[in-house]
Structure 1
């Protein structure tokens, strides 16, 4: 992993990850950003970025990272492909969305990504973004250990040598609660060392169930790194403006592709075309606000771009089977 200042954009920070071993990466990052690394936790508080990473290592080659970040300037993260590596990565909260860490209830809702260690990608975090994410890294040889048995869908693709692949799932309540438990344990300072490992097993079990449900839709498409980066950028643009529906023509012109190609590539990663993905993420964000915030339903409807609260309630009930007012009554107990 290396960092450098861009000669064109002096305010941008670039971070390249080049090692599987979390301890090696975090120690180098501490040296290059004048941060503190004590062998378990990285803390960086610079003029460009505030970053805190708790790292856990199990059985010598399983890594779990809990990351919290605030960007002061634009920040680029590069994941360089490791052709000779045989690791599987899982990330929850893959890229930057504005997040209120101080409140303690909000959570980054970007989703779950599972990908091979030789999948190349780049993420740009704008200045002024707060985000947090979980990373699980484990060797491909431990595939069966995590409940991914011989009947598990996509095993053939995931275990083929040197073939990059990536898969996406929306972040649901079950996985969200697992990750929040891990962050809460890390913040208390007295959480058990086994908690990140046991919750990681739970997350991988939940992902297995998602794969089985999606098996009928086939295996994920391989995608060129340049196209992948464009689609990730488009996804970030959508999630940063949840109160406005994306305009496909504008997005296609901005990123140099037709609307049909945009939807095809987007669906190959996110399982849905752009507008359906937006609508699903929007109503899921409404659920989080109803469940975790003290905002009134009218305020939530306005913030999320609904014409009125009745409209939001109809959409919510159609998706979840009950109105948001019922969810708020449950949370009041």
Structure 2
């Protein structure tokens, strides 16, 4: 199934999607018909400039959502919370979606509505994601930060084109899970959900506020697409460190531009991003209990196991041996 729309400030996903599949909406809730799958989409509005849509469903066929740029500049901020364990695909430039999610690679994407994107959700997998749509002016008033860093200033100002990704903390994952369990028939449920959505924004902007101040580089669809491919390249073989000159050649960018845009978008340098993913993969393999510490270290390209142990302990506060033995 393909659903395409233009991301204008007055666009209502729930209304248009319900028309697309021929299913009614009652009190902001649309149930997925049995011939398509099972689950629901729910929309809550906290005013004209602040809304949330919750997606909880499993479909019998792939779902491809094409979001076309509004052509109106940054009049709306869209924040996606992807809490998925399936192979989520994302694209920004009319190309086949790039596999984004790794093992439980939940993520948060913050984007201006002048960027186009395509998201592919595979059939037969539970889809769980949340979208917050909020105007820059409303967000700035809500955050009320006296001296915001460059990232928050960019997001909460009109006119900038931006794309930021953040990892999803355990606290955010738990909050999203609890939000889906709320009894919406309760008379105070709408009020409760508004509080929880603001808590989601707090957790996200607390992360973004810790990023370094730097001059914002405007980003377009072609740049965004190249960055997704570079991220995929960096993560494709965690036993081999990334080589900047090779990545720059793949991206058709200068090394300076690639370094700047990658850090701006993903919040870390290419090498640090690689090392973090390497340690997360090591933690996963150790928890499986099928490989020794030495086997995991060698599999991830470490020739010096003492170095592997020190690096792992720096990330997790435990040595690999101790980590693998903890329940």
The answer, yes or no, to whether TM exceeds 0.5 is: yes
- The alpha-carbon deviation at position 319 of structure 1 amounts to 0.5
SS of alignment partner, residue 193 of structure 1: helix
Q: Which residue of 2 aligns with 1:232?
A: 228
Structure 2: how far apart are the matches of 1:198 and 1:324?
A: 39
User: 1:11-37, CA deviations, whole angstroms, 9 ceiling, x for partnerless residues?
Assistant: x72522434457x32121121133453
Is the contact between residue 79 and residue 111 of structure 2 (CA under 8 Å) also seen in structure 1?
Answer: yes
In the TM superposition, residue 69 of structure 1 has moved relative to its aligned partner by 5.6
Aligned counterpart, 1:13: 2
TM-score where L is the length of structure 1 = 0.68
- Over the residues paired in the alignment, what is the CA RMSD in angstroms? 4.5
- 2 CA distance for matches of 1:33 and 1:97? 23
- Going from structure 1 to structure 2, the CA distance change for 1:201 and 1:127 (only over 3 Å counts) comes to closer
Instruction: Report what 1:123 is aligned to.
Output: 118
For residues 235-246 of structure 1, the aligned pairs below 5 Å read 235=231
**Mapped contact 2:149–2:213 kept (Cα < 8 A):** no
* Counterpart in the other structure of 1:29: 17
1:135 Cα deviation (Å)?
1.8
* CA distance 1:55–1:276, change in 2 (3 Å): same
2:26 to 27, 38, 52: 38
Is contact 1:17-1:25 (8 Å) kept?
no
Q: Which residue of 2 aligns with 1:167?
A: 164
Match in the other structure for 2:98: none
Q: Assess if the C-alpha contact under 8 Å between 2:74 and 2:160 holds in 1.
A: no
What does 1:250-329 correspond to in 2, within 5 Å?
A: 256-257=252-253, 262-284=258-280, 295-296=288-289, 298=291, 306=300, 315-323=311-319
Residues 92 and 134 in structure 1, CA contact (< 8 A), matched pair in contact too: yes
Looking at structure 1, the residues matched to 269 and 36 of structure 2 have their Cα atoms a distance apart, in angstroms, of: 35
Q: CA deviation at 1:157?
A: 3.4
Task: Identify if the C-alpha distance between structure 1 residues 107 and 122 changes in structure 2 by more than 3 Å, giving closer, same or farther.
Answer: same
Native 8 Å contact 2:6 2:70 kept in 1: no
Matched, 1:66 2:54: yes
Indicate conservation of the 8 Å contact 1:266/1:274, yes or no.
yes
Gaps of 5+ in 1: 1-11, 100-105
Structure 1 stretch 43-52 or stretch 258-267: which is displaced more? 43-52
Aligned pair partner of 1:220 in 216, 220, 233 = 216
> Which residue of 137, 157, 179 maps to 2:176?
179
**1:161 deviation in Å?**
3.1
Match of 1:88 in 2: 77
Distance 1:327 1:27, change over 3 A: farther
SS of the residue corresponding to residue 272 of structure 1 reads coil
Quote the Cα distance in structure 1 between the aligned partners of 2:206 and 2:218.
Answer: 22
* TM-score normalised by structure 2 residue count: 0.69
In 1: Cα distance, 2:58 partner to 2:234 partner: 20
CA distance in 2 between counterparts of 1:322 and 1:253 reads 38
Give unpaired runs (5+ residues) of structure 2. 89-101
Partner of 2:134: 138
